[in-house]
Amino acid sequence: MAQKLWEKSVQVNQEIERFTVGRDREMDLYLAKYDVLGSMAHITMLESIGLLTKEELDSLLAELKNIYAEADRGDFVIEDGVEDVHSQVELLLTRRLGDVGKKIHSGRSRNDQVLLDLKLFTRAQLKELAELVQDLFAALLAQSDKYKEVLMPGYTHLQIAMPSSFGLWFGAYAESLLDDMLFLQAAYKMCNRNPLGSAAGYGSSFPLNRTMTTELLGFDSMNYNVVYAQMGRGKLERNVAFAMATIAGTISKLAYDACLFNSQNFGFVKLPDECTTGSSIMPHKKNPDVFELTRAKCNKLQALPQQIMMIANNLPSGYFRDLQIIKEVFLPAFQELKDCLQMTTYIINEMKVNENILDDDKYLLIFSVEEVNRLAREGMPFRDAYKKVGLDIEAGQFTHNKQVQHTHEGSIGNLCNAEISLLMQQVVDNFNFDQVADAEKKLLQ
């Protein structure tokens, strides 16, 4: 059995080990290639301050690149008896290169190492989320433009209220994603600060060059105060989870609308046949299972910040093993949200709308406000116009030509999709993803 990094002469009880390690080895597979990246930056810095020779650095970097490639292919494993990803990387280096492999941990603690891994993993996941949000945003705006002339009922209290349009409906969710992207950007900016060098939370007596590792890894800056760097564990995950929950909230509401509007009682939209499922006894059924599952998954994701908060919120400063449990809910959540975004984008692209909804006179009364406004424009006081139309409705004498004349910004006749698209592009540009990509590419060359 491999010895733990922290183990001396006494071996820990096996049941205690099973309990304390938990699912850490499984969760650490998410972090493997990022642990390697962090080690590459760290040892490059160690060589610059005289703790490694140039020859040692070159051999370590070459082997770390091999391990990175293994992790990138999905071939990296944490062997039985090896505690975590950090131990496995160090074990592989020591096997392949000898004692020089044992030198890579100088000036580090597993505390700042795992926090670094989490940050590198998280910023990569946030980039993927941002790209998928952009895809859904583009699909929604395309459908908004395509169906901008098609009217549909708007509702308040699930009562027919005023005329809306598919241009407004699709476009509303696009603009919601714009706000969600601001949360995502804030989470990314908080994530993209370097904790490496904080060690166990109190720094190191080695003359570490933290500015160098910050630049090597493409961070915007560092977490300067070493105590705060460790206090950021748990806070990072919570803030990112809030950003993810915001996106999930938008998708959940969209999924609910789509399920409702797809039902025969509404008949506003038609989902692609390949995205629906049947019934075991009712041959006519085409169930919107994808959107129902999306709604459930997104509602679960909206509970993620609370889960993380309940684990971390009563801990004082310094590291505690409680924080390990956050990995189990946090790391897999990204794939779940990415799946929901991909499924939703596919269905939105293929969704068809009913272009003749308002031919049915059961929707006639949604034009009552249009008639009140017409009378007011012609000079009748608004309150008098309101009363007249109300009395006409009570008497069954209300009629309208089912036309609308909305021209102000953001209305049926002036969607402002170009302006919304420009705002989204500005947010995306401010992530500055290229800085990270360039740094990582240079490190791996």
Residues acting as catalytic residues:
157, 279
CB 187 within 8 A of CB 243: yes
CB 370 within 8 A of CB 404: yes
The 3-state DSSP composition of the chain as helix, strand, coil percent (nearest 5) reads 65, 5, 30
User: Could you tell me which residues come within 8 angstroms of residue 231 by beta carbon, excluding any fewer than 6 positions away?
Assistant: 201, 317
And the tokens for 80? 């039985």
Residue 409 sits at φ, ψ, to 5 deg, of -60, 130
Per-residue b/e over 267-282, b at no fewer than 16 CB within 10 Å? ebbebeeebbeeeeee
Q: What is the dihedral of CA 134, 139, 144, 146, to 10 degrees?
A: 140
Give me Rg for the CA atoms of the chain. 28
Dist CA 242 CA 306 (whole Å): 9
CB 188 within 8 A of CB 432: no
CA atoms within 13 A on the CB side of 417: 24
Dist CA 13 CA 111 (whole Å): 23
